[in-house]
Every structure is written in C-alpha cells, then in structure tokens.
Chain A
Amino acid sequence: GAVVSQHPSWVICKSGTSVKIECRSLDFQATTMFWYRQFPKQSLMLMATSNEGSKATYEQGVEKDKFLINHASLTLSTLTVTSAHPEDSSFYICSARSTLAGLSSYEQYFGPGTRLTVT
C-alpha cells in the first residue's frame, strides 16, 4: 500500500515552453501533497505544500507564478513549470500524506521523481 506515482519519469523540453508533472496517490487518498526539488548530489528542498481544493503554500524563494501547483482531487497533484529555462533543470519529487486509518497520518510517501531537462 501507499504507492505514489509520477508522470513523466523524464522529460526534455525547450527553453520557454511549459511542462506539467503529475503526482498520483494510487491506493490511498492524499489530503496533502508536497513538491521537492533535488539538484545533482544535493538534498531535497521543499518547494511547496498543496492541500486538496485549496491554493498551494510556497516556500520562501520559490516563484509561485513559475511553478504552478494544482491539487484538484485527493489523488492527483500537478506541478507545471512555466516558461522553463535551463536553470530549472532538476529532479522533481512529490510526496503524499494520508489521513486514512492504517496509514500513519504524519508519514510522507514519495513518488519516484521526474527528471526535467530544459535545453
């Protein structure tokens, strides 16, 4: 149980275009989802927290107009990188938190990540 998927796993896009990354909780309802960014050989940095049906909360220094987050249902959150530039190339990881009985309410379940390359 507690499986989180991400799609796509790898995407290459041209500078100036937008790209959407999906994060899905497959076997549980995720009231809260998180988006992280990981540069090569570095740690995970929280970008934003999204709660189903409400606006995302962005970490300081993260441009909310550039990284659009939508959490329209209890199983899906999307991250759209708008007008992507080479410096946006990174590994993006989502995680989900569930309040269902049987799953720890504080634990986060991570997706496999999406590698974004902007050329």
Chain B
Amino acid sequence: AQTVTQSQPEMSVQEAETVTLSCTYDTSESNYYLFWYKQPPSRQMILVIRQEAYKQQNATENRFSVNFQKAAKSFSLKISDSQLGDTAMYFCAFMKHNNNDMRFGAGTRLTVKP
C-alpha cells in the first residue's frame, strides 16, 4: 500500500518570505502522480500543483514549485513570496497511474504572518 508522510504538522512564515513543505511517500510503482492540495478555512480542496512521475522536470505554477526527487521518494512544495491568502492546510497526495486511489498525507498547517 502507498503511504504519504508529511512530517511537519505546523509551519509559519513571514509574509513575502519563502517556505518549503516536506512530503515523502512510499511506493513500489514506477508510474504515478503527485499532488499538493490547499485547504483554506472554507475547506474547499484546491489543487496547487501536480507532478507526473515520468517527468524529470519539476513542476512550477507561479509562486509554487516542487522539488521532486524520485529516487528519494520526496516531493516538497516551495512557496515563494508568501501571501496572507496562502494560510491554509496543505495536503500532499499520491495516486497510482490508471488507478482511482488518491492517498493523502496528514497535512501541514501553514500560517503566513504579516
């Protein structure tokens, strides 16, 4: 079974600074997808960024980027120029290729301080 580990229950960062959220996963699969979701106080799950395991290039979406280390099974999220609106729970998720199962990590609560 696949497991996703987020070892940082809570983090904080000053506005405009950079923060990195950690995620590791365990799988024997070679083809899969990784995601970072944001869940603000409204509890709506919002996709932040996704990475296909077969792609070596790290995904980037504006201020959000990942450091995908396939051999190390690591998938960290970097948020640059943090904004107050980035305050939320962040979940790392794993999904096998051609499979419906999406497995989530325990989440990291990020607080951006003014």
Contact = CB atoms under 8 A, between A and B. Distances in A.
A46 B4 CA distance: 14
A107 B107 CA distance: 19
A109 B95 CA distance: 14
A20 to B, nearest CB: 20
B102 A34 contact: yes
User: What range describes how many residues of B lie at the interface?
Assistant: 20 to 34
Interface in A79-113: 91, 93, 95, 97, 106-108, 110, 112-113
B84 interface: no
A49 to B, nearest CB: 5
Contacts of A112: 42-44
Interface residues of A, number: 19
B106 A113 contact: no
B11 interface: no
A54 interface: no
Interface string B85-100: 0000001000101001
Interface of A: 32, 34, 38, 42-46, 49, 91, 93, 95, 97, 106-108, 110, 112-113
27 contacts: A34-B100, A38-B43, A42-B106, A43-B91, A43-B106, A43-B107, A44-B45, A44-B91, A46-B102, A46-B103, A49-B101, A91-B43, A93-B43, A95-B45, A95-B102, A97-B100, A106-B33, A106-B95, A106-B97, A107-B47, A108-B102, A110-B37, A110-B45, A110-B46, A112-B42, A113-B43, A113-B44
